[in-house]
Amino acid sequence: MSQSDQPSVRLRPEIVALPAYKQGKPAQADAFKLSSNENPFEPLPGVVEAVQAETAFNRYPDASALALRERLAAKYGVSSDQVHVGSGSVALLAQLILAAAGPGDEVLYSWRSFEAYPGLVAVAGATSVRVPNRDDFGHDLPEMAAAITDSTRMVIICSPNNPTGTIVTAEEFHAFMAVVPRNLLVILDEAYAEFVTDSEAVSGHPLLTRYPNLVVLRTFSKAYGLAGLRVGYALGPVDILNAARSTAIPLSVTGQASVAAIASLDAEPELLARVRVLVDRRDATWRALLEQGWNIPASQANFLWLPTGAETAEVAETLTSAGLIGRPFAPEGIRVSIGEAEAMANLIRMSADIIESLPAEHDARRKD
């Protein structure tokens, strides 16, 4: 029998239809990888040593990562049960979606936002409801509130938003929460919280006592530079986190990831110094691009959004040929991570020519 005569194995059609996971493109030796919002700095002091000392990996790790949870609980002034650690905050998001939404249920989020959301919702068998970003690339919270139905089981708010860098203000957030039913789970995805300098931005953890339906997600992958070790955490009410724990794949957080996270928390002064460097580099790059005539939303994360529209693939190719590997989301734009100083200098040099080459009325051009 030839292959095509065989009956094909029956799989869930909505899973088969999902686009394959696309990782940020790797960079060649002489290129800069600006495609995954990673930290260009090497691990913080003490982290490599802590990982090297964690050698008893013939044993399973502590299933609940208690030492790390206690450390985070002390940092945020909550109990250790109000902290849940996962192998990256994407894993936590998957657990929370599985806990809250199944077939027939809706998960609401702004779009464009984090590329992982649609797939995680589909895997849970639930339905994504996307509310378009505002013209200024931020979340349209009044429209999101209006899109809540009896079937909505979760709302995901991403601030700063990946890939546009925009924030939700505290005022917008409170106005939104005031109209959201208290039995509807709201996730505030704060993967880039450490890079926020705008005092108007919402900050999730102080609001946990106020909103019993709020869970805040944070990660060690971005500011802390532990992307390769996979560790993130959720802060929120115990009953919601317990439901997430029940959907988790057990023992996913390794001992190495836990000790690296604790050592990273110990290196707070160095962390803040690095974040400062990246934030300054971000703001300087943003200003340079604005001066060239680009329309780039002010970013509160460690990346910038180039709204290259229909020219996205072409511009991404131009950047790649200059050794800058960004993350194109055709036909909307390109997300470029804040990387090495040299990479940003190259970007500024390239972008001056690119903006000149775009049509006169292009969205990537500043209108004022």
Ligand X SMILES: *Cc1c(COP(=O)(O)O)cnc(C)c1O
Which residues of the chain form contacts with ligand X (CB under 6 A)? 37, 88-90, 114, 158, 162, 189, 191, 219, 221-222, 227, 232
Picking from 50, 71, 14, 4, the residue whose alpha carbon sits closest to that of residue 229 is 50
Picking from 318, 133, 143, 156, the residue whose alpha carbon sits closest to that of residue 234 is 156
In whole angstroms, the minimum distance from the beta carbon of 255 to ligand X comes to 18
Measured from the CB atom, the residue of 223 and 315 that comes closer to ligand X is 223
303-306 and 333-337 as β-strands: parallel, antiparallel, unpaired?
A: antiparallel
Measured from the CB atom, the residue of 311 and 332 that comes closer to ligand X is 332
> How many Å apart are CA 152 and CA 197, to the nearest integer?
32
Measured from the CB atom, the residue of 133 and 219 that comes closer to ligand X is 219
Measured from the CB atom, the residue of 256 and 346 that comes closer to ligand X is 256
Measured from the CB atom, the residue of 158 and 177 that comes closer to ligand X is 158
In whole angstroms, the minimum distance from the beta carbon of 208 to ligand X comes to 18
Q: Which residue is nearest to ligand X (CB)?
A: 88
Cα separation values, 162 from 35, 241, 340, Å: 12, 24, 20
In whole angstroms, the minimum distance from the beta carbon of 124 to ligand X comes to 17
In whole angstroms, the minimum distance from the beta carbon of 168 to ligand X comes to 13
CB-side exposure of 102: number of CA atoms within 13 Å? 2
Query: How many residues does this entry show for the chain?
Result: 368
Number of H helices, E strands in the chain: 12, 12
In whole angstroms, the minimum distance from the beta carbon of 231 to ligand X comes to 7
In whole angstroms, the minimum distance from the beta carbon of 349 to ligand X comes to 27
DSSP state of 54: -
Which helix (H) or strand (E) segment holds residue 332: the answer is none
Measured from the CB atom, the residue of 86 and 307 that comes closer to ligand X is 86
Cα separation values, 267 from 66, 273, 293, Å: 20, 10, 39
